Amino acid sequence: MSRRIAVLASLLTLLGCRSEIRAHGEEPTEEHAAEGANEENAEAPHAPAAAEVPAPAKARPLALKQAPEPPSDPRFAAPPDVAAPPADASRTASGLASKVLAAGTGSEHPTAESIVTVHYTGWTTDGRMFDSSARRNRPATFPLGRVIPGWTEGVQLMVVGEKRRFWIPEALAYQGRQGAPQGMLVFDVELLSIQTPPPREAAVEAPIPAPSDVAAPPANAERTPSGLASRVIEAGSGTAHPTAASQVQVHYTGWTTDGNMFDSSRTRGQPATFPLGRVIPGWTEGVQLMVVGETRRFWIPEELAYQGRPGPPAGMLVFDVELLQIL
């Protein structure tokens, strides 16, 4: 258990906010908004942690890095009420304040288990914009239960098509975390879509036995120039392959080559959802070989996994991965 905790912590650190987790400057804050917050709630494959961002471990709002100051653009100028919520803002018992900017067309509200797609822009109360998916022209998709508490609570108030401004007190944002925006944060959020994940499966208590070929890739395994080896365990029903820019949902189990299981979404009874470009290189490359419904076993050499970093599993890693959805 202690090793599992250490691995998760390491992944979270890596995954934190991809220089991309982008976070501030380049890509959505799925990092700022979606990753940084409640680490207790986030889950990600222990292995898919990318050099910059581990994989699906606990994602909280996305912001662990500060984005550069944006160019002068009236679309991203701080709103006049950025310093504090106005008198007509609604407030919840937690201290979250919000105001509807444009009514939505939907009737369904997301839950904390939903996967949502949003556009957003975030400012500190002095009017500095620190992140914006709208500026990147790239919506952010993330599990709503894996972001800062203010996002988890606030987006559940919304319906599809709605635009809302949130004033999120520090206690519901990054809680003084080093590197993240400080104090109360203000976000304009537009809810684009809601996806309902499959029901949570029964968790598996016992470790999943290692496959018979865990020690090394067999002769019939496919190999790529990078050194990644894999073989199809079960053919898929889909035809499309994800790209490095795709958001994917998978079930997976990982072992070291001595047969020790170090992580599994199946033992938690919950698939993992994450941006494929923000996990360890072996996952980013390997899952792109798959189609929906396919289960594949990967032998990922250390240079495509955790590269000897302290904390995560060392050496070659073996993963069985089932690709459930390309989001």
Known catalytic residue: 120? yes
Beta strands in 22-139, from DSSP E residues, in sequence order: 90-91, 97-102, 115-124, 129-132
Q: Nearest Cα to 76, choosing from 30, 31, 130?
A: 130
Ramachandran class of 237: left when φ > 0, alpha when ψ lies in -120 to 50, beta otherwise: alpha
Q: Kind of pairing, strands 163-168 and 247-256? A: unpaired
Quick one: how far is CA 32 from the chain centroid? 11
Q: Nearest Cα to 313, choosing from 250, 260, 267?
A: 260
CA R_g for the chain:
20
Backbone CA torsion sign across 211, 216, 222, 228 = positive
CB contact at 8 A, 144 and 37: no
* 21, 115, 130, 252: the active-site residue: 130
Known catalytic residue: 252? no
Known catalytic residue: 130? yes
3 state DSSP class of 39 = helix
* 21, 115, 142, 148: the active-site residue: 148
* 21, 115, 120, 188: the active-site residue: 120
3 state DSSP class of 8 = helix
Q: Which residues pair with 188 in a beta bridge?
A: 121, 165
* 142, 166, 174, 319: the active-site residue: 174
Ramachandran class of 265: left when φ > 0, alpha when ψ lies in -120 to 50, beta otherwise: alpha
d(CA 310, CA 206) in angstroms, rounded, equals 26
CB-neighbour burial class of residue 51 (10 A; exposed 0-12, middle 13-18, buried 19+): middle
DSSP state string for 185-216? EEEEEEEEEEEPPPPPPPPP-SPPPPPTTTTS
Site of tokens 């020690």 = 215
* 21, 142, 168, 187: the active-site residue: 187
Q: Nearest Cα to 33, choosing from 55, 8, 65?
A: 65
Known catalytic residue: 131? yes
* 21, 131, 280, 306: the active-site residue: 131
| Residues labelled catalytic | 120, 130-131, 148, 174, 187
